[in-house]
Chains A and B, each alone.
Chain A
């Protein structure tokens, strides 16, 4: 099915009798992208499914107030990112302060037995290392490393400067590199 342009979607949503059609098109267009954005942060499929639902509920309730100050894509990613960070904050199970803590962390440990995870030993250690980063740095790293999102777009989503993001990504890599060195994986 050909995906509708964002402006067409917004036009449908703003018209009373085509709102459902517009929302369905929006879901069709962005569900997978947003799912992967969330999943890479929360790691577990069920958690990602919950966050994605919360995201689209929020989108549905507030789409009438979308003012077009940013692109629809940026606005959606901003909501999904905020929902993810709120979720991680509420479920502290994903944050830990040191690499040692991360060793036994349930979110990481469960990956090994998760049938919906197909990573090898290096990818498993990579998740462990990423787990030691602060949540916002984690978002920056994952959006660059996995999704190759341009800094300009990440800056709009996280309301920060491109320079700060480049530095954050650079520091994240240094920390991950350090982790791999201590594990003698480099």
Chain B
């Protein structure tokens, strides 16, 4: 068997010997002429898409999203309440303001 395997064409049936290496497939006209440009363009686009999607959000953006959101809400609440307290005016201040001016 080893001998047969080393001389593989010997055990190839006659019909297979006849068709060995024969290629029945065709390609569209000028296919290979434009193939390089097409393949290079595809590779560039794929790399561009990969880079764009990688840069779409900062690193760990989604992992820390919930904590960041809560912090933002908390800060906003504090600011709002501080604003209300800091700028309170005495009761009926604006009603009497014009009288004081005169």
Residues on A close to B: CB < 8 A? Answer: 20, 23-24, 27-28, 31-32, 35-36, 39-40, 43, 45, 52-53, 56-57, 59-61, 115-120, 122-123, 126, 144-148, 166-167, 169-170, 173, 176-177, 180, 185-186
Contact = CB atoms under 8 A, between A and B. Distances in A.
Given A116-B25, A123-B24, A146-B21, A180 B15 contact: yes
Contacts of B18: 122
Nearest to A185: B15
Interface residues of B, number: 33
Residue in B8, B16, B24, B40 whose Cβ sees the most chain A Cβ within 10 Å: B24
A123 B24 CA distance: 8
Interface of B: 1, 4-6, 8, 11-13, 15-16, 18-28, 32, 35-36, 38-40, 42-44, 46-47, 50
Interface SS of chain B: helix, strand, loop or mixed?
helix
B62 to A, nearest CB: 24
B87 to A, nearest CB: 58
Given A28-B36, A166-B5, A177-B13, A39 B25 contact: yes
Interface SS of chain A: helix, strand, loop or mixed?
helix
B43 to A, nearest CB: 4
